[in-house]
Structure formats: structure tokens, C-alpha cells
Amino acid sequence: MNNGIFETDRHGWAELLPPRQATAPLRGEHRADWAVVGAGVTGLAAARRLAESRPDQEIALLDAREVGQGASGRNSGYAVAVSHFGGGFSRKDIDEYRRVNRINQAGLTLLRERVEADNLACQWREQGFYHAAADSRAQAECRYFCEYLSALDIAHTPLSSNELAARLGTNTYQSGVHVDQGALVQPAALVRGLADTLPANARLHENSPVTRLDHGTPLRLVTPEGTLLADNVLLATNFEAPKLGFLARRLSASTLTGSFTRVLSQEERTSLGSLSDWGVLSLHSGGATVRLTVDGRISLRNTAEYNGGQLLSDAQLKQRQETHRESFERRFPHLAHVPFEFAWSGVEGISRNGTNFFSKAAKNVFIAGGYNGSGVSRGTAFGHALADYARGADSDLVRDCLACAPASWIPPRPLVNIGAYFTVKKRFIGVGLDR
């Protein structure tokens, strides 16, 4: 479904899954105690928390697309427990590092509990992942990262180029580190599973974009085919919050692209080192994210650009795939014969200063978002905490979320377009062999 304002396409992790019947759009007039807008990991966590804590109340969850077609189903599937803060290690920022990691770890725990309780078939692999460096700038970052991990007593294993090659089957990386905490997941399968196992009093309507939010008592949400009156609204729309009048000068977006290979043969998988599956995050901000998935595909993501918060066209994807191909064959020359089967694009919410958003945005309206590429675990924690905050409950997690630094101001168009373009381009300075 492409409604113009909230576009989608059929390129992404969801296309690797069996077909699924979407829930019915919102039609006619409805009433609910709570409305949650956005059925990604944040909205799903918020809706579940509300439904479980208020079992006698009705929660309506609206998404502009089908579940798995938004940003939560289009990322690279890393549920991060330990964030990488670029640049030299700063001892004065240790408390901030710990606060962010507490949020990450809370989200990881919530996801683990749901995956285990509902036996979600989402390729959940909680074995940590690799942070690796190929070129000189990333190798310096590797030293900073290891200093930070040691200072915070985070379990990790520094690795040489030979050790990385033995595990990953590529000679690209010159240094790296394995961080023990963290999970890899099939992101579209995860959000589908979370959506399909919501409590009975949380009602999901897909293909129901909220085109207008009228403030009043109650609040009124308008979709193409219906209206919803709700006492409280939780916005979990991430980079699309400005479309409803929120964070217009604080939140922007970056469009990323990646490709999947076909399923590798057993011989091809054996050539990729000693592990059955793995994930690598580059220690350069513009470096490639590479995975060997449980089902035997290589996924590689290595472009990011400002595109007005939109997905890329088929023609644009074909062009970006040339960059994916060059990066793939440089890493795995012995697999140069393996074709790509899919290309995808996805949009992440970003702020100029890397902060997140968690607040009361208006009377009875609450908002969370802007995860700067770490949304699987952090977005889950924010959604859970936002539900508690909106219903007046306090917790350590709520306080950690409220402690996010204010976002830097973003100028209006056309200056924002120029600024966002150069901000994203800056990520790739000195990327070299890490791309």
C-alpha cells in the first residue's frame, strides 16, 4: 500500500517470510481509552505494557503500513546491549554511557522475555556480535572502544586480523572486538511475532495512517477510512512524528540500503569460518554492517543518505546495489559468484546531537523516538517506559529515558535539506576499506 504520505514497497526482510494476513484497517468511528500510533518495536512495547497494566481498558494500535514494512522491520536486526560512542573515550561521560546502556539492556531483556514466552520464530540469537575495523580511522576507533569496554567492565574479547578471519571467513578486518551481550534477529519476523501475540484488549489496525490529530477532550485521530476518539495518545512514529506536527525542528531522517544474497550452499557456508551465523558492526560510522543469517544468507548494508525521509525507488536501489556488490566481493572474493536476491531500503530517525526523544508532547499526548540506528532494543525500552510514564507510573527506566539530552534545533527547509545531506555525508569521511 502506498498512500503517498506514508509510503512503502515490497523490498525488505518481510519478503523473506511467508505471507501474512494483515489486520483490518480502521473503518468508521471508534472509541478507545488509549491510542498508540506506530506498530514498530516502540509502539508494540507500549501497547503491550498498557494492555497488561490496564486489562479493563481498550488500547487501539494504528500503523500506516503492514507490520514489518516500517523501520522496525527494515533494520539490520541488531538488538544492541552496549552502544558504541564514537571518538575518544571520555571518563567524564561514564555516567551517560551507563545510562544509555541500561536502556539498551532493559529493551534486550523485554525482547528476550517475549521471544521465550511466546516462542516467537524470529531467528533470535543472543550471542553478541563483532565490532570490526579495516582502515586506519576505524582501527583507532577500535582502540577507543576497547578502552571504553574495559573501563565499564563490559565483557568483551579483542581479536586480531587472523582471529577475525578464522571466525568470519574474510581477511578484510585488521582488528576488532567481540562484545558478549546483544542479540541478532530477523527484524520483520520479530515485529510480526510481537504484533500477533498482543493481549486481547490491544486492537491492531494496519494500513491505517493517521493523517490528522485533533487536540481536545477526547483526542481525535483521523485515518483515510475512519476516526478514533481516545483519552490518551502515545506517538511511536519515530522519524514520521513531524507529519503529525511534532519534533518538526528536532528530528530528521536518513535512508539506508542493503542487499541479501541467495541462500548459500553448505560448502559456501563452510568457507565463512567456524561460526554458523554472525553479525559485524563497523567501527567506522559509515562502514558496512554485515551478517551471516541463521538461514544462510549474507546481508550487507553500507549506504546512507538524506532522501527526505523516503524509501528509494527501484532504480535508485539498483544503483546502490553496485556499491553493495563491490563491498561484498572485496570481503568475500571466493563468493563473487553468489548473486544478490533482494535489495532493500529503510529509514532511521536521527537527531543532530544523537539524542533520543521521550516526553509529554501535549495534553494527553506522549512521544518517543529518534534512536539514531539503535532502535531494536532501545525503542523497545522506550515504548515500555512511555506507557508507564503516560499512566503516571515511575521507575528507574522511566527516569533514564527522561534524562535524554535536549535535541539540537534543525533549521527549516531548504536549509534542513542541505544540512541533513552534509550531516549524513560526514559519516563516510575516511571510511576507506570499511565501506
> Are 360 and 316 members of one domain?
no
> Are 155 and 40 members of one domain?
no
Tell me what pLDDT residue 10 has. Answer: 80
Residue 116 domain-assigned?
no
Mean pLDDT, consecutive 10-residue segments, the chain of 435 residues? 66 91 97 98 98 98 96 95 92 96 98 98 97 96 97 98 96 98 98 98 97 97 98 95 86 91 96 93 95 96 90 94 97 97 90 86 95 88 98 97 86 63 69 89
Q: Is 212 left (phi over 0), alpha (psi -120 to 50) or beta?
A: beta
> Are 272 and 373 members of one domain?
no
In 215-251, beta strands by DSSP E: 219-223, 226-235
Tell me what pLDDT residue 417 has. Answer: 62
Tell me what pLDDT residue 306 has. Answer: 87
Range of the domain at 54: 13-73+188-251+353-404
Residue 222 domain-assigned?
yes
Spatial contact of 122 and 191, defined as CB atoms under 8 Å apart: no
Residue 5 domain-assigned?
no
Tell me what pLDDT residue 1 has. Answer: 40
Residue 119 domain-assigned?
no
User: Can you give the length of the chain in residues?
Assistant: 435
> Are 173 and 269 members of one domain?
yes
In 9-58, beta strands by DSSP E: 28-37
Tell me what pLDDT residue 421 has. Answer: 61
> Are 257 and 322 members of one domain?
yes
> Are 208 and 312 members of one domain?
no
From 193, 54, 197, select the one nearest 123 (Cα to Cα). Answer: 193
> Are 213 and 344 members of one domain?
no
> Are 147 and 262 members of one domain?
yes
245, containing H or E segment: none
When divided into structural domains, the chain yields a total of: 2
From 100, 278, 292, select the one nearest 179 (Cα to Cα). Answer: 278
> Are 342 and 265 members of one domain?
yes
Tell me what pLDDT residue 2 has. Answer: 41
Residue 90 domain-assigned?
no
Burial 298-333 (b: 16+ CB within 10 A, else e): bbbbbbbbbbebebbeeebbeebbebbeebbebbbe
CATH of the domain at 33: 3.50.50.60
